[in-house]
Structure formats: C-alpha cells, structure tokens
Amino acid sequence: MATRQLFATDAYLHAFEADVARCDADAHRVALDRSAFYPGGGGQPHDTGELVWDGGRAGVVRVARDGPDVWHWLDPEAPLPEPGTPAEGRVDWRRRYLLMRTHTALHVLCGVVWADYRVAVTGGNMKPGEGRLDFRLDAMSADLGRWAERRVNEEVAHARRVRVDFVDRDAAARDPALIRTRADLVPTQIDPLRVIDIVGLDRQADGGTHVASTSEVGRVTVTRTESKGAANKRIRLAVDDREPAGVTG
C-alpha cells in the first residue's frame, strides 16, 4: 500500500500518527503508512523532524519518495522501529513554515513576471528563507531587481488566497493558465495534477507546501539578479526568518 501523503492536502499538519509499514535496516530508514513529511521535489527540500514510538525516538534526517512509498531516514545512532509499530511523526515546524513562505514567494514572483513580461520559468530552487527562479528574458537591466521586489511585495500585501486543487491531466493540458509554468514537464504518470492557485495571480502544477495566504509570506527582498545566458535571467529572493504565525511546534 502506498504512503498516504498528508502534506498534499494539509501543509499545516506537523504532528501526526502513523504505523511503520516497512523497514530497511541497511539504509536505516522506514516507510510509514501515512506521512506529513514532505519528501522533496520541484526545488523544495525535504522536511526534517523526529519519529517517536513506545520505547524509542529518532531524528528524521532525510525524506524521499521511492516508488509508492515515502521513506524516512533516521539518525543512524538511533534505534529502528519494527514494521507495524505505531509512531508519531513530528515535522520541524519552524523550518517547514519558512519553506512554505519561501515557496509561495517564488510563486508570487512567477506570477508577476508572467503578468508583466509573459515569459515562462525555466528553473528554480530554494532553501529555508531563500530561493531563485530563472526566466526566458532577453535582457536584464539594473532596474529588474527593484521592479521584482516592488511587484512581489505589492502582491503579498493583497493577501491573496492560496488554494490547492487537483486537476485531471487531460483538462490540465487544455488549460492555458498552466502553460506558462511548463506543466508539460511534469511526468505523464502523475494524474491528476496537484495545482497551486494563488487566486487572481498565479496557477501552476506543483507538489510542494505553501501558506494559505500571501499575507503570511512577509517582506520579500530581491537579493541578486544574474544573467545565466543570452535568454536566461535569474532572480534571487529572501524572506525574513520569523516565528510561525499562530502555530507552535
């Protein structure tokens, strides 16, 4: 049975109960029947945290998909629970929330570049509090960074709702709103597509975690702009590292 991926529908869930489905002693990892740990992908790093069970506790140092399972690599100095063991997973919430805010900030950047320039994203990456996107822009001026910072913060201040939808693959292929973010690059076996919709600004296929409103992103700073080729320009941004709003963990 595949791991039920709780993060896909509730990014704010950071403590959950699960059963150990499989163990891999050689890799010191376990697969759970359900998990709120994000396994990484699309430029967003995997979550970290801890797994607690009766008589044991271990740090979760890596998470990744492997076939239908989400595997959790445990601290090699910690014990390994047996299959069938009930456990509680605890996501490092401060780190996760900072990644959520960073990821949504990057989608806002994608949205404003599309709105003003009509160019698609060609690549991106992030870590907690920092991220970058590449765009098909022919030229870069000294004003690009200042423009991007102003426009992103304008949209953040609009407090736009961030919605998660699941869209049939065929319907997604006919949706012009998804073309700008290269939905065609998503593996064909993924159906339906999970779509993140910043209502009124940006809508794209995406598997990562996001905040529920752009107002949670906070102040965004464009830290650098770079030319990575004749028609490939990079914009780097940062969000402030602050305590998660309204949630403790």
- The full 3-state SS of the chain, as one line of letters, equals CCCEEHHHCCCCCCEEEEEEEEEECCCCEEEECEECCCCCECCECCCCEEEEECCEEEEEEEEEEECCEEEEEECCCCCCCCCCCEEEEEECHHHHHHHHHHHHHHHHHHHHHHHHHCCCEEEEEEECCEEEEEECCCCCCCCHHHHHHHHHHHHHHCCCEEEEEEECHHHHHCCHHHHHHCHHHCCCCCCCEEEEEECCCEEEECCCCCCCEHHHCCCEEEEEEEECCCCCEEEEEEECCCCCCCCCC
d(CA 241, CA 245): 11
CB 204 within 8 A of CB 151: no
- Specify whether 108 is located in the same domain as 182: yes
pLDDT for 190: 64
| pLDDT band at residue 185 using 50, 70 and 90 as cut-offs | low
Query: Is 249 inside a domain boundary?
Result: no
pLDDT confidence band for 246 (50 / 70 / 90): low
> Is 248 contained in some domain?
no
Residues 83 and 102 in one domain: no
229 and 177 share one domain = yes
220 in any annotated domain? yes
Contact indicator for 107, 206 with CB cutoff of 8 Å: yes
Q: Which CATH number goes with the domain that contains 77?
A: 2.40.30.130
Among 228, 168, 32, 198, CA closest to 108: 198
Q: Give me the CATH number covering residue 104.
A: 3.30.980.10
**Per-residue pLDDT for 11 more than 90?**
yes
Does one domain contain both 101 and 82?
Answer: no
Q: Are residues 106 and 200 in the same domain?
A: yes
**Which pLDDT does position 204 carry in this prediction?**
87
pLDDT number for residue 170? 74
Tell me what pLDDT residue 248 has.
45
Give me the mean pLDDT over the 59-80 stretch: 96
Tell me, what's the pLDDT at 249? 44
> Of 3, 59, 1, 62, nearest to 31 (Cα)?
3
In whole angstroms, what is the distance from residue 123 CA to residue 87 CA? 37
Which whole number is the average pLDDT over 16-25?
97
107 inside domain: yes
The partner residues of 127 in beta bridges, in order of sequence, read 130
Strands 49-53 and 193-198: unpaired
Domain closes at, from 41, 57, 91: 91
Looking at 59, 91, 123, which one is the last position of a domain?
91
Same domain, 117 and 38: no
110 and 221 belong to one structural domain: yes
User: Is 244 inside a domain boundary?
Assistant: no
> How many C-beta neighbours within 10 Å does residue 150 have?
13
Residue 186: pLDDT over 60? no
Which of 91, 121, 153 marks a domain boundary? Answer: 91
The parent domain of residue 29 ranges over 4-91
Q: What is the pTM of this model?
A: 0.91
At residue 17, does pLDDT exceed 90? yes
Q: Indicate whether 210 belongs to any domain.
A: yes
Number of domains observed in the structure of the chain: 2
pLDDT of residue 120: 83
Identify whether 245 is part of a domain.
no
Do 20 and 136 lie in a common domain? Answer: no
Residues 86, 102, single domain; the answer is: no
Tell me, yes or no, whether 18 lies in a domain. Answer: yes
